[in-house]
């Protein structure tokens, strides 16, 4: 080995020794540094175990909805009360039922108007309207509704003969009516003037004729004739008695017919006026002349 080779060999050894020394020094420095640092940074630690996948936490099964209050019936409220009765006009229907007496069958001779007897008679008494009267037994008696609800009225009754004007049914039958009111005025004259004043047309009002000095049931009476719109005429007699006004109507009132039917009807009219008599009246409520105020509720 020559000199140059020895130098290269020694240089290699020196280099190897330096490398070995460097490695040793680096290893020691590394150990020293590890002693100064947290252990966890020096040595790789295994990862902390992670939780194994857990089954999902049990959930509560669906619960039925909480019970709610059942619908309650509505609270009882005060039922509407009927209004307090007011002083309403009372019905005019009488509390009695006037009954005609059984026929007495007393033979009665006709008046001088004709030769035929009137036959059996019926005595009709009406204590609600305050009169009694005789009439032939064949006549029909019926309550009339024509005064129903009229102020001051007590009612009306009709007597139908079944006899026809001129003996012909087409011309209409003979009949009598009696209407009763509470007297509104003190005299017959005032009553007639008031009744006529309600007729608007002067020519109609002036066609009605007044005749005084009649007597019905022992009381003064006034006769009215010539009423318009009645083909065969009519006759009305007004009379006062004990604060009541009576109106007696006779229809038709045609004197030009003289058949047996007309004669019998006129005899019935005459009998009615001759036997008409006032009797005590059974009191019952009347429809007032003027409205009565309703009491406050």
* CA 40-46-52 angle, 5° bins: 130
- pLDDT in the model for residue 162: 92
237 falls within a domain = yes
Residue 258 scores a pLDDT above 50: yes
- pLDDT in the model for residue 41: 46
- pLDDT in the model for residue 36: 63
The DSSP code for 165 is G
245 falls within a domain = yes
* CA 141-278-152 angle, 5° bins: 75
- pLDDT in the model for residue 91: 39
Q: What is the CATH number of the domain that holds 201?
A: 3.40.1000
Are 129 and 141 in contact by the 8 Å Cβ rule? The answer is no
Answer yes or no: pTM beyond 0.85: no
**What percentage of residues in the chain have a pLDDT greater than 70?**
62
| Calpha distance 147→157 (Å, rounded) | 10
Report the mean per-residue pLDDT for the chain. Answer: 74
Q: Cite the DSSP H helix spans in the chain.
A: 3-36, 39-42, 188-197, 202-206, 260-275
Read off the tokens for 30.
Answer: 């590394």
167 falls within a domain = yes
The DSSP code for 92 is -
| CA dihedral for 162, 165, 166, 171, sign (positive or negative) | negative
Burial class (CB in 10 A: 0-12, 13-18, 19+), 121: buried
Residue 107 scores a pLDDT above 70: no
204 falls within a domain = yes
Domain with 248, as residue range(s), is: 141-260
CB atoms within 10 A of CB 281: 18
Greater confidence, 226 or 255? 226
- pLDDT in the model for residue 113: 37
Residue 181 backbone phi and psi in degrees, to 5: -130, 160
* Count of domains for the chain: 1
CB atoms within 10 A of CB 44: 7
43 falls within a domain = no
Stretch 29-41: mean pLDDT, rounded?
60
- pLDDT in the model for residue 71: 58
58 falls within a domain = no
- Model confidence over 150-207: pLDDT tens digits? 777 888 999 999 999 888 877 888 999 999 989 988 888 898 888 888 887 888 888 8
3-state DSSP call for residue 82? coil
Q: Which DSSP helix (H) or strand (E) runs through 206?
A: helix 202-206
Q: Which long-range contacts (CB under 8 A, 24 or more apart) does 3-12 make?
A: none
Give first-to-last CA distance, the chain, whole Å: 153
**What percentage of residues in the chain have a pLDDT greater than 90?**
29
192 falls within a domain = yes
Residue 267 scores a pLDDT above 80: yes
How many Cα atoms within 13 Å fall on the side-chain side of residue 264? 21
Q: Is the peptide bond before 222 cis (omega within 30 degrees of 0)?
A: no
- pLDDT in the model for residue 127: 93
Stretch 34-62: mean pLDDT, rounded?
53
Greater confidence, 102 or 212? 212
Confidence of residue 228 (pLDDT cuts 50, 70, 90): confident
Residue 96 scores a pLDDT above 90: no
2-11, 76-85, 186-195, 240-249: least confident range? 76-85
- pLDDT in the model for residue 29: 66
19 falls within a domain = no
- pLDDT in the model for residue 89: 40
Burial class (CB in 10 A: 0-12, 13-18, 19+), 286: middle
């Amino acid at each position: 080995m020559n000199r140059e080779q020895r130098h290269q060999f020694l240089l290699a050894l020196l280099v190897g020794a330096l490398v070995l020394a460097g490695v040793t020094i680096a290893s020691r420095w590394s150990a020293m540094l590890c002693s100064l640092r947290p252990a966890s940074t020096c040595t790789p630690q295994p990862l902390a175990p992670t939780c194994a996948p857990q089954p999902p936490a049990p959930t509560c099964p669906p619960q039925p909805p909480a019970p709610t209050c059942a619908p309650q019936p509505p609270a009882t409220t005060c039922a509407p009360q009927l209004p307090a009765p007011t002083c309403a006009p009372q019905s005019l229907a009488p509390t009695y039922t006037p009954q005609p007496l059984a026929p007495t069958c007393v033979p009665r001779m006709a008046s001088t108007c004709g030769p035929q007897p009137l036959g059996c008679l019926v005595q009709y008494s009406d204590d609600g309207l305050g009169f009694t009267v005789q009439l032939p037994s064949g006549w029909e008696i019926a309550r009339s509704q024509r005064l129903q609800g009229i102020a001051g009225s007590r009612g009306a009754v009709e007597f139908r003969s079944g006899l026809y004007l001129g003996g012909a049914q087409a011309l209409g039958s003979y009949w009598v009516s009696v209407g009763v009111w509470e007297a509104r005025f003190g005299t017959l004259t005032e009553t007639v003037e008031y009744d006529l004043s309600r007729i608007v047309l002067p020519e109609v009002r002036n066609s009605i004729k007044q005749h005084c000095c009649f007597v019905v049931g022992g009381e003064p009476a006034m006769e009215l004739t010539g009423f318009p719109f009645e083909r065969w005429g009519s006759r009305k007699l007004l009379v006062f008695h004990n604060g009541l006004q009576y109106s007696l109507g006779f229809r038709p009132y045609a004197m030009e017919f003289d058949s047996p039917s007309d004669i019998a009807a006129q005899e019935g009219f005459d009998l009615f006026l001759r036997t008409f008599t006032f009797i005590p009246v059974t009191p019952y409520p009347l429809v007032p002349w003027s409205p009565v105020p309703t009491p406050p509720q």
